[in-house]
Amino acid sequence: MEKRNDESLEWTLIRKSLAEGLTKEEQEQLNAWLEASPEHRAFYNRISKFDRSEGIAGLSGETYQRDRNRYVDKFRQNKRKNSKRRLVYFTRYAAVFIMLLGVGLYFWYANGSREVMPENVLPVAVHGKAQPILVTGDGTRVNLAKESNLLKQLAGGVVSSGKDGIAYTESTNQGKKADHHTLIIPRGGEFRVELADGTVVWLNSESEFTYPVIFNDTTREVSLKGEAYFEVTKDKKPFKVSVNGVEVKVYGTRFNVNGYDPRQVQTVLVEGRVGVRSLEHASREWMMSPNEMAEVNTETGECVVTEVDASAYVAWKEGYFSFEGESLEQIMEKLGRWYDVEVVFAADDARSQRFSGRVDRSEDFRDVLNLLQRTLLVKFEVDGNKITITK
């Protein structure tokens, strides 16, 4: 069977089974997919109960056709523009409301109770506005979004600003004790810094990064709270990142470090080699290969290394949220940090619902919540910057 360019094999089979019937070979393929996971079977059973001929309560034919055309057009446009940011790139069965338009946008309007949120309900997100604070060794605080002129006076002129962040240059006075700077990135912001050795660091929302203005002759050591992506310049001096009592030792590489959870530090290697170890349990160092994730328990020092798709963990640097089977609780932690909102679960069983997809971080928060509300069959109640999740 030939697979359509804009559908996965599973969706082609599901759509045909509900609309026009399957050949013997296609039915065998669908049966294999259904038997592969109880979640596949439960999902298919729920979809197959929807009768398109009965219509959808509360949804007029005009509204149905308008939304259908709007989302089909957007999806097709995004498929043609792979080089540009996409509103949402859906993966596998968690984002079925686009793939299953043929069965009536089931997840968009299931049970007729999940209405589109009014335009004025959700707060406008203050995302993507880099408003970091730079703190110097003597305690001077500089708002880099407003006081760029002051930056020129700091650190003897070795730091400069640009549209993408700030950059440091090597000082001619290498014998002087290195001053340390700290970048504080607020919720809803992100920032880029190029260190004196040429290493480039992208800082995610709600992060702090401390580093020397110039590196000494023996080592390059920095510390992190939150999340950052590193592209480390190769040098005979080792590069070390300290986060939550865990040390990531770098040998010239590209990697991501996530220390938002104080109970563990997550390192994902994109390219090169890194070693991770607990500073309190330093008897062993775990070496990593590309497309591996090391999770170090900060209490015990134990480390678990697994194979992953590294691109999903660094998608934030490229301007996307990438979710791969993540729980709604994990997703809302990320969204709350980026859009600077407080999230409360009134329905505990909603925490474990899972979603896979790719969402543009520049998208309005209202649209992202609408997506999750319709896909996961939950409801968001908004009160200012407080989001309460019910079912």
pLDDT, one tens digit per residue, over 128-156 is: 455 789 998 888 888 887 766 677 666 55
pLDDT band at 74 (very low <50, low <70, confident <90, very high): very low
Residue 89 token pair: 């790139």
Report yes or no on whether pTM surpasses 0.75: no
Lowest mean pLDDT among 16-20, 168-172, 240-244: 16-20
More confident residue, 250 or 2: 250
Q: Measured between alpha carbons, how far is 174 from 211 in angstroms, rounded to an integer?
A: 16
Q: Is 195 exposed, middle or buried (0-12, 13-18, 19+ CB in 10 A)?
A: buried
Q: Measured between alpha carbons, how far is 239 from 29 in angstroms, rounded to an integer?
A: 50
More confident residue, 160 or 214: 214
More confident residue, 99 or 327: 327
Residue 112 burial (CB count, 10 A): 11
Asked if 380 and 373 count as a contact pair (C-beta separation under 8 A), the reply is yes
Which distant-in-sequence residues (6+ apart) come within 8 Å of 349 by Cβ? 391
More confident residue, 330 or 356: 330
Single-letter residue type at 291: N
pLDDT at 227: 97
Domains of the chain: 9-112 (no CATH), 124-217 (no CATH), 227-316 (2.60.120.1440), 317-390 (3.55.50.30)
Whether 18 has a pLDDT exceeding 80, the answer reads no
pLDDT at 57: 36
Please provide the size of the chain in residues. 391
What single DSSP character describes residue 205?
S
pLDDT at 149: 66
Whether 239 has a pLDDT exceeding 90, the answer reads yes
**∠ Cα 282 236 318 (to 5°):** 80
Distances (CA, A) of 69 to 2, 76, 102: 25, 11, 12
Instruction: Characterize 138-165 residue by residue with b for buried, 16 or more Cβ atoms within 10 angstroms of its Cβ, and e for exposed.
Output: eeeebebeeeeeebeebbeebbebeeeb
Q: Measured between alpha carbons, how far is 73 from 79 in angstroms, rounded to an integer?
A: 10
Highest mean pLDDT of the ranges 8-12, 65-69, 88-92: 8-12
pLDDT at 122: 35
Helix segments in 81-166, DSSP class H: 96-99, 148-151
Helix segments in the chain, DSSP class H: 9-19, 24-35, 38-48, 61-80, 96-99, 148-151, 310-313, 328-339, 365-376
Whether 298 has a pLDDT exceeding 60, the answer reads yes
